[in-house]
Amino acid sequence: MTTMRRLFLFLLLLLAVMPARPADDAPLAPAETIELATVRGRIDHLAFDSGGKRLFVAALGNDS
């Protein structure tokens, strides 16, 4: 089996198992921006709480 054929079959399988997004489900949009002036270093992790509509951000170099 050629590489292209394997890739095609993989993509076909991926499309078959991917959940469909409901038509009435709106995409995420920014509500506000909060400046993180005291944060130094890079942003390490993000976690989204869909029920509470919150985004949690962790800064690695700042331990915050």
Is pLDDT of 5 > 60? yes
CA 30/CA 28 separation, integer angstroms: 7
How does pLDDT run across 9-19, given as a tens digit for each residue?
888 887 777 77
Is pLDDT of 59 > 60? yes
How does pLDDT run across 16-53, given as a tens digit for each residue?
777 766 666 666 677 888 787 777 777 778 888 878 87
Is pLDDT of 56 > 60? yes
Is pLDDT of 2 > 60? yes
Positive/negative CA dihedral, 12, 21, 19, 29? positive
